[in-house]
Protein backbone atom coordinates (compact mmCIF):
# COMPACT_ATOMS: atom_id res chain seq x y z
CA UNK A 1 0.00 0.00 0.00
CA UNK A 2 1.16 3.53 -0.77
CA UNK A 3 -0.37 6.81 0.39
CA UNK A 4 -1.67 9.14 -2.32
CA UNK A 5 0.53 12.04 -1.18
CA UNK A 6 -0.72 14.60 -3.75
CA UNK A 7 -4.34 13.99 -2.68
CA UNK A 8 -3.39 14.18 1.00
CA UNK A 9 -1.53 17.47 0.34
CA UNK A 10 -4.54 18.92 -1.50
CA UNK A 11 -6.84 17.95 1.37
CA UNK A 12 -4.45 19.39 3.96
CA UNK A 13 -4.36 22.69 2.10
CA UNK A 14 -8.16 22.70 1.76
CA UNK A 15 -8.52 22.26 5.54
CA UNK A 16 -5.85 24.89 6.25
CA UNK A 17 -3.00 22.69 7.48
CA UNK A 18 0.39 24.10 6.54
CA UNK A 19 2.66 21.79 4.56
CA UNK A 20 6.02 21.77 6.33
CA UNK A 21 7.84 19.43 3.91
CA UNK A 22 6.98 17.75 0.64
CA UNK A 23 8.93 15.57 -1.77
CA UNK A 24 8.24 12.53 -3.96
CA UNK A 25 8.09 10.06 -1.03
CA UNK A 26 7.01 12.09 2.00
CA UNK A 27 4.75 14.85 3.20
CA UNK A 28 4.69 16.48 6.62
CA UNK A 29 2.03 18.84 7.83
CA UNK A 30 1.96 21.18 10.78
CA UNK A 31 -0.88 20.17 13.09
CA UNK A 32 0.06 22.40 16.02
CA UNK A 33 2.64 25.10 16.66
CA UNK A 34 5.40 22.58 17.41
CA UNK A 35 3.91 19.36 16.01
CA UNK A 36 4.32 17.86 12.54
CA UNK A 37 2.63 14.74 11.22
CA UNK A 38 4.54 12.77 8.57
CA UNK A 39 3.11 10.62 5.76
CA UNK A 40 5.81 8.55 4.05
CA UNK A 41 6.00 5.99 1.22
CA UNK A 42 8.99 3.75 0.65
CA UNK A 43 10.22 1.66 -2.27
CA UNK A 44 9.00 -1.61 -0.74
CA UNK A 45 5.30 -0.74 -1.26
CA UNK A 46 5.03 0.24 2.39
CA UNK A 47 3.86 3.47 3.97
CA UNK A 48 3.85 4.96 7.42
CA UNK A 49 2.33 7.81 9.33
CA UNK A 50 3.86 9.23 12.49
CA UNK A 51 4.89 12.36 14.33
CA UNK A 52 8.27 13.90 13.56
CA UNK A 53 10.62 13.44 16.52
CA UNK A 54 8.69 10.72 18.36
CA UNK A 55 8.76 6.92 18.08
CA UNK A 56 5.05 6.26 17.42
CA UNK A 57 4.09 5.33 13.87
CA UNK A 58 1.59 3.19 12.01
CA UNK A 59 1.68 1.48 8.63
CA UNK A 60 -1.19 1.84 6.17
CA UNK A 61 -4.61 2.56 7.60
CA UNK A 62 -4.77 3.31 11.33
CA UNK A 63 -6.88 1.21 13.68
CA UNK A 64 -8.23 2.91 16.79
CA UNK A 65 -9.51 0.57 19.47
CA UNK A 66 -10.91 0.58 22.97
CA UNK A 67 -12.53 -2.10 25.08
CA UNK A 68 -15.90 -1.29 23.51
CA UNK A 69 -15.19 -0.57 19.83
CA UNK A 70 -12.68 -0.27 17.02
CA UNK A 71 -12.43 1.96 13.99
CA UNK A 72 -10.10 1.94 10.96
CA UNK A 73 -9.23 5.19 9.15
CA UNK A 74 -7.35 5.87 5.94
CA UNK A 75 -4.76 8.65 5.66
CA UNK A 76 -7.37 10.93 4.08
CA UNK A 77 -9.76 10.19 6.96
CA UNK A 78 -6.94 11.04 9.40
CA UNK A 79 -6.56 14.51 7.90
CA UNK A 80 -10.32 15.09 8.01
CA UNK A 81 -10.50 13.77 11.58
CA UNK A 82 -7.73 16.11 12.71
CA UNK A 83 -9.49 19.05 11.06
CA UNK A 84 -12.89 18.40 12.66
CA UNK A 85 -11.58 17.38 16.09
CA UNK A 86 -12.53 13.71 15.97
CA UNK A 87 -8.83 12.83 16.14
CA UNK A 88 -6.72 14.18 18.95
CA UNK A 89 -2.99 14.23 19.58
CA UNK A 90 -2.06 12.29 22.71
CA UNK A 91 1.30 13.06 24.31
CA UNK A 92 3.15 11.05 26.94
CA UNK A 93 5.24 13.28 29.21
CA UNK A 94 7.60 12.01 31.91
CA UNK A 95 9.60 14.22 34.24
CA UNK A 96 8.76 17.19 32.02
CA UNK A 97 10.08 15.55 28.83
CA UNK A 98 8.02 14.46 25.84
CA UNK A 99 8.36 10.69 25.46
CA UNK A 100 5.90 9.90 22.68
CA UNK A 101 3.04 11.32 20.66
CA UNK A 102 0.25 9.41 18.86
CA UNK A 103 -3.26 9.84 17.49
CA UNK A 104 -6.41 8.89 19.38
CA UNK A 105 -10.03 8.97 18.27
CA UNK A 106 -12.30 10.86 20.66
CA UNK A 107 -15.06 8.23 20.38
CA UNK A 108 -12.77 5.19 20.61
CA UNK A 109 -10.41 6.08 23.45
CA UNK A 110 -10.80 4.89 26.99
CA UNK A 111 -7.60 6.46 28.33
CA UNK A 112 -6.91 3.45 30.53
CA UNK A 113 -3.23 3.04 31.13
CA UNK A 114 -0.95 2.71 34.12
CA UNK A 115 1.15 5.80 34.60
CA UNK A 116 4.33 6.27 36.57
CA UNK A 117 4.24 8.87 39.37
CA UNK A 118 6.00 11.53 37.25
CA UNK A 119 4.18 10.66 34.01
CA UNK A 120 1.18 12.39 32.45
CA UNK A 121 -0.87 12.09 29.28
CA UNK A 122 -1.91 15.28 27.50
CA UNK A 123 -4.53 15.51 24.78
CA UNK A 124 -4.31 18.25 22.16
CA UNK A 125 -6.52 19.20 19.29
CA UNK A 126 -4.94 19.96 15.92
CA UNK A 127 -4.78 23.63 15.01
CA UNK A 128 -5.46 24.73 11.45
CA UNK A 129 -4.35 27.92 9.74
CA UNK A 130 -1.12 28.17 11.72
CA UNK A 131 1.14 30.97 10.49
CA UNK A 132 2.78 29.35 7.48
CA UNK A 133 6.06 31.17 8.07
CA UNK A 134 6.55 29.07 11.23
CA UNK A 135 5.64 25.75 9.58
CA UNK A 136 9.21 24.70 8.88
Number of domains in the chain: 1
Full residue range of the structural domain in which residue 58 is found? 5-134
Predicted pLDDT of residue 135: 40
What is the full DSSP assignment across 21-84? EE-SSEEEEEEETTEEEEEEE-TTS-EEEEETTSS-EEESSEEEE-SS-EEEE-HHHHHHHHHH
Stretch 28-57: mean pLDDT:
93
**Per-residue confidence band for 1, with pLDDT thresholds at 50, 70 and 90:** confident
pLDDT mean over 13-20 = 93
**Model's pTM, two decimal places?**
0.87
Amino acid sequence: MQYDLPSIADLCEAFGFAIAHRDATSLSITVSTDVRLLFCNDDADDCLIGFVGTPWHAHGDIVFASRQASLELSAVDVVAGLADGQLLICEDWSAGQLQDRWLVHRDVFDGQRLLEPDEELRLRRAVINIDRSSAC
